[in-house]
């Protein structure tokens, strides 16, 4: 599987999203649709982006009882997305129900990749201890959640690039690490607590990087995207 840069389209409408994508000219990047855009526009935004030629990661981070997640995944399977996700915190049973739902919803068609969020990249070890009462170091928690995801039959995890190496050690090189929390060396890190540059993410073994504001908020988004692809993939 080739490395790729996924642009987080954290916009509130399809108009805003298209206006942004037009700035990228003929490029057809892998894009991530999050809750804001999906809740505003519904399945039509997925269809529109697929028709434009983009690969789509639908980032809805499902986290509910297994039966509910199973049924929701059956529906998501019909949208034609390339990647979708759940929270690993929903437990192995929930993740198994999710992959089963996805498979059932796809029938004989190709199945989207299913990955699990380990700990959000905005969460620090201190907040994890204080708010979640998880009294272990971040790397152990992320590796444990990743192994749960692998055992449930998922394709990979969302984690910080700082954890990609450890996840690959524990779950194998073929297990995908999709990593947000990426900033250029000269950027503001905003609300992300654990950040690295695209070049560093490559060095640490990330399979995909998810980049939002460093591209969407750049004065020249096309140049920022190309810089990201070049730093991360060497292309
Ligand atoms: O703008 P920025 O590059 O920080 O955007 C990162 C994107 O990745 C956001 O859409 C955010 O929701 C998402 N994300 C994250 N941390 C996770 C999972 C997803 O930042 N663990």
Local confidence pLDDT in tens for the 235 residues of the chain: 579 999 999 999 999 999 999 999 999 999 999 999 999 999 999 999 999 999 999 999 999 999 999 999 999 999 999 999 999 999 999 999 999 999 999 988 889 999 999 998 788 999 999 999 999 999 999 999 999 999 999 999 999 899 999 999 999 999 999 999 899 988 877 776 778 999 999 999 999 999 999 999 999 999 999 999 999 998 8
Query: What tokens appear for 231 in the block?
Result: 């730093």
Query: What tokens appear for 160 in the block?
Result: 């910080």
| Closest ligand 1 atom to Cα of 182 | 3
Q: Ligand 1 — pocket residues by CB below 6 A?
A: 8, 10, 34, 117, 120-121, 158, 180-181, 190, 192, 210-214
Instruction: Give yes or no: 61 in active site.
Output: yes
Q: Are 218 and 224 in contact (CB under 8 A)?
A: yes
Query: What tokens appear for 92 in the block?
Result: 């192995």
> What's the angle, vertex CA 23, arms to CA 20 and CA 26, rounded to 5?
115
* pTM given for the model: 0.94
CA 134/CA 57 separation, integer angstroms: 29
Residue 130, classed as helix, strand or coil, is helix
């Amino acid at each position: 599987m080739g490395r790729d840069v996924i642009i987080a389209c954290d916009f509130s409408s399809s108009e805003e999203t298209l206006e942004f994508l037009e700035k990228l000219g003929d490029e057809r990047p892998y894009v991530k649709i999050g809750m804001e855009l999906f809740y505003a526009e519904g399945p039509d935004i997925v269809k529109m982006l697929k028709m434009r030629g983009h690969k789509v990661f639908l980032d809805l981070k499902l986290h509910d009882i297994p039966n509910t997640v199973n049924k929701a995944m059956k529906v998501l399977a019909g949208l034609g997305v390339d990647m979708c996700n759940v929270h690993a915190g929903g437990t192995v049973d929930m993740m198994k129900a999710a992959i089963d739902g996805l498979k059932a919803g796809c029938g004989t068609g190709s199945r989207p990749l299913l990955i699990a969020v380990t700990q959000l990249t905005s969460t620090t070890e201190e907040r994890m201890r204080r708010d979640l009462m998880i009294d272990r170091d971040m790397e152990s928690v992320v590796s444990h959640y990743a192994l749960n995801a692998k055992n449930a039959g998922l394709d990979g995890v969302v984690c910080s690039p700082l954890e990609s190496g450890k996840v690959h050690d524990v779950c194998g090189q073929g297990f995908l690490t999709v990593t947000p929390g990426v900033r250029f060396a000269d950027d503001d890190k905003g609300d992300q607590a654990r950040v690295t540059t695209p070049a560093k993410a490559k060095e640490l073994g990330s399979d995909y990087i998810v980049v939002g504001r460093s591209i969407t908020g750049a004065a020249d988004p096309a140049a920022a995207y190309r810089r990201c692809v070049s730093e991360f993939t060497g292309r």
